[in-house]
Chains A and B, each alone.
Chain A
Amino acid sequence: MKRVLGVALGILTAIGGFLDIGDMVTNAVVGSRFGLSLAWVVVVGVIGICLFASMSGRVAAVSGRATFEIIRERLGPRAAGANLTASFLINLLTLTAEVGGIALALQLASSVEPRLWIPVAALALWLVVWRAKFSIMENVTGLVGLTLVVFAVAVFLLGPDWNELADQALSPTVPAAEGHAVYWYYAIALFGAAMTPYEVFFFSSGAVEERWTVKDLAQSRMNVLVGFPLGGILSVAIAACAAIVFLPAGIEVSSLSQIVLPVALAGGKLALAVVIVGIVAATFGAALETSLSSGYTLAQFMGWSWGKFRRPAQAARFHLTMIVCILVAGAVLMTSVDPIKITEFSVVFSAIALPLTYLPILIVANDPEYMGEHVNGRATNALALVYLVIIVTASVAAIPLMIATGAGS
């Protein structure tokens, strides 16, 4: 019974923890402009993140070591250093977007200007990273983030034309008002939002934090293979809400405040309160994960003592890295830069940097020296190679498309 509860908790946490500010904003923007014609990208992204997370979780559980320790050992300090630089900067950009997301969500609850919430959010983030246990932190934010299921409920309450939604999703076409370049730019943004590298750093380092072994592989697989796809359904629900309410009215989503309006239309004040709680939980959870990922990546690369299972005094540089990153994120946001713009850039740059983290994991997952009998099977490798092609193509195409479309404008 305890084991079943453990599996259920892991799955629920994975669903609630799947969404972050990047998923919410990108799906709502895409829904308002393209309807569900890019829903297929969420499916591709979810399969990709399942594959990526299950490989890195297996590497961590079998070897007992986390991503960057192995990347450095396997690729050497120079290649791993380049990898670290790109991953660390993208992670910092994502952390900044998440802290901005917390502030914007709190503005929705209070109507107080987000710049006043940023120091509060940063302080709360640091306190939780410093004081809370890893499992409590992960489970509480994941479970409260589950309240975002209200987006799926809202889709039903809005009473859409299901045939039209199905037609948009199953026979995707580029709307007349949008060009092909913009369509593919947003396809890459959605892909990057679903496959953010921090999720994998967090997942694999979390496996070490929770002392996973080979015995825990089945549970980890269940968390990923059930939790992430259900999280992906919530992503599509956000896009569907925007497609139902905004697309016919010619309204383009450009702010977080617009994302909650379809939920209010469907379910009134109660649903609105629930969705705001969910957005705060999802952004706060993702901010915790990105803060920790910044500490994990740098400490693992440098060989410093790391982990929430150690007291802060025993992992001082790990905690210092997180504090500096939280301060930098807060300082950037205090310049009045638009958190939504940062979010839009962070998801695209995540797609650009993705091969740097994906390829080393794929190499290590095939290395018998680290994995023994648990190396990738043929089917996994076939799928992994298909994804390598997709990831590299998205990465190479992202910047030219960003320039050609004026970042999707």
Chain B
Amino acid sequence: MRVVRALLGLAAVAAAAGCAVGLDATPVDEARALTSPLEQASSAVGTATLAAELLGDGRSTAAVTDTALLDQVHVLQEAADAVATFVPADRTGAAWQADALTTVRDAQVAVAAARGWANGAGSDEGTVVAALDASATALDDLTATLDEVTGE
């Protein structure tokens, strides 16, 4: 009975060790792990752009735009946390992580600037939307690079 328990214990430890990220992850696994938070960030930037354009066109109120942008700040924070806590297996993975972190942080800056503009501080609508567009393009480019690796 003890032997069975010991074997079960060892199996559990082995299974848990197998779940550890980065130890023997392939480039495809790493690219997949980073694509998900990048898509989350793209979604947040897309929402922020729509909210900012609606306010600029006079079709939305400052309160709704502010709330929408605040919600996207939280989404971007989740995406940034996911990228920051990713454990790369090699230099390629580390380089992707660094690029992803920079891109998501740029998106955070763009959305924060949009929120400032919506609340009457900061620059004009054109600058805000341009920054959000640039951020969306950067996120799309990096996601496309990772998609090439995963073949999706």
Contacts and interface: CB of A to CB of B under 8 A. Distances in A.
Interface of A: 107-111, 245-246, 249-252, 254-255, 257-258, 260-261, 264-265, 268-269, 272, 276
Given A250-B46, A269-B59, A260 B71 contact: no
A110 B46 CA distance: 23
B77 interface: no
B71 A269 contact: no
Nearest to A109: B63
Nearest to B60: A264
Nearest to A262: B50
Nearest to B67: A257
Nearest to A249: B46
Given A108-B64, A250-B43, A272-B64, A265 B50 contact: yes
Contact of A111 (B39, B46, B58, B66): B66
Contacts of B66: 111
A268 B59 contact: yes
Interface residues of B, number: 22
A254 B48 CA distance: 13
Contacts of A258: 47, 68, 71
Interface of B: 39-40, 42-43, 46-47, 50-51, 54, 58-64, 66-68, 70-71, 75
Nearest to B74: A255
Contacts of B67: 107-108, 111, 257
7 contacts: A111-B63, A251-B46, A258-B71, A261-B50, A261-B68, A265-B50, A268-B58
A252 B40 contact: yes
A365 B74 CA distance: 49
Contacts of B43: 250-252, 254
Given A254-B75, A255-B68, A268-B58, A261 B63 contact: no
B103 to A, nearest CB: 16
B75 A264 contact: no
A272 B62 contact: no
A257 B43 CA distance: 14
3 closest Cβ contacts across the A-B interface?
A111-B63, A255-B71, A257-B68
A255 B46 CA distance: 14
